[in-house]
Structure formats: C-alpha cells, structure tokens
Structure 1
Amino acid sequence: MGIHGTRMALAALSTLAATAVFTAPAGATSFDQGISVQPYGHISEDGKVTLSGKYHCTNPSPMGAKLQIAAAVVQGGTRLAFGGGEAECDGQEHEWEATGSLKFTPAVHPGPALAEAQLNEIHFSGLMPRSIDTVAEDRQEIRLIAHH
C-alpha cells in the first residue's frame, strides 16, 4: 500500500511546521539588541575590577521579561563574572559599567585579559527566573590597567 504524493508532501510540511514551532525558544525576541565592551578595564587599589562599554536594546517581550547586563574577565585559568545591572531598553545607545571584587580571584592582575559582555533577557515565572536568553554578546582581548 503506497502513500499518495500529495499526502506525503502534506505530512512532510506538517512535520517541518511542528518542528519549527516546538524548537523556537519561548518568548525569544527579534528586536535590535547590541552590546560592546571597551578595550580596557580598570583594577582599583581596593581590589575591584571594572569593565565598561555601550549597549542598545528595545523593549523585551511583553511577558514580564527584563534585560540585564552581565560581564566577565578571564585571565589565565581564572574567570571572574559579575553583573552590570538592568538595561534601559528604549532603542537608544547607553553606557554600562560593571564592577566585580577580586577578593576570591586574586590571580587577576594588570595586563592582557579576555573581556565578555552579555545582554541577557530573563523570563520570569512568578518571582523566579524561568529562562535566560543571551540576545547580544561581545568578547574581546583587552588590557587591564591598575588605578592608584
């Protein structure tokens, strides 16, 4: 017993459509988002590292999502990640700055390092985060500079 060509095409199309629906991330945005990190970071005398840059974003999905900035510096085998606060998403370019403590990562020092900046869309279920999607990212070699 053979399957008619039209039925076969319809079945294949239905399967592709279902796959597309079920593999698309829930609440994903298709808006213009971007973030960049400056080619240098600062290490203060009191043991803090600061990264900065610029970002732009539009309002996240209307289902209670928020956009937040995350930053990290990697040097040798040490990675220090820290938050940069909530993003203001009005379509305009804004500056961001994030500071992390070197208290538990004393191996981070002035010199070359890898910096990462992410713009993350956080979807909530009640008060708890349900999912986090990275909507923009920048990763580049930078120089950490000691400030006295």
Structure 2
Amino acid sequence: MKIQGHMFSWLAAFILAAAIVYGVWSKEPAGTAALFMAFGLTAMIGYYLIFTARRVDTGAQDNKEADVADDAGELGFFSPHSWQPLLIGTGAALAFLGVAIGWWLFFFSLPLVLFGIFGWVFEYYRGADQNQ
C-alpha cells in the first residue's frame, strides 16, 4: 500500500505543477480549476494510502523480494447473487436521463436508487432462517 501512496503523491505533485503552468500560460479559469481539483483529489488519495500503510501490515507489493504467489489468497467477500446493483444502475441511468429529459423522471427514479441502496446494505442482515 505504501508504494501506491507514493505513486499518488508523485502524481499529485505533477498535476500541481501542470496546473500552475497551465494557469499561467492559458489564463483559462475552468481548466485551471479542474487541474487544481484533480491535484486535491489525488493528494487526498495519496495521503490516505500512506496513512493507512502505517497502520496495516506490510503487503507483498511493498516487499522488493516478494513473489507473485505471496499476494495470492482471498481478496474479500463478493455477493454472488445480488440483484441490487442492477436496481441501482437502472435507477441511476433513469436519474441521469431525467436531468436531460425532465426533472419529473429524476423524481421517479429516486425511489429505485434508494430501494436498491437499502437492499444492498441490508442484504445480509436478515434472519438466519430467511438467508438460505
């Protein structure tokens, strides 16, 4: 995790330099603001990764002598049968379409998104007899 944090920190420094050069040469406020915001977001990610790397064990990616097999194993739990992402994606697509077509469609898609998020968050918080 430490190497990714340093990569994001170097990328943030490059984006900051590019933002300063772009702002001085172009005098265009929208692109300059976008580059400064990209710098801020990249710096936040780099800081988070470096800060988190101090608290967790050293991963295989931080060991120069590590082998590919050292990083093998379970990466996490992913639900194999969840329909909630489809519901959230449909609601989000309708919401963005509502911005283009009319706000009435946005308000009809909002319950779909909220119901999908609620179902996804509480998917495994049902009773033991209903979870099979």
Do they superpose with TM above 0.5?
no
TM-score of Structure 1 vs Structure 2, range by shorter chain? under 0.3
- TM-score, normalising length: structure 1: 0.20
Q: Whose relative contact order is higher, 1 or 2, with alpha carbons under 8 Å and at least 6 apart?
A: 1
TM-score using structure 2 length: 0.22
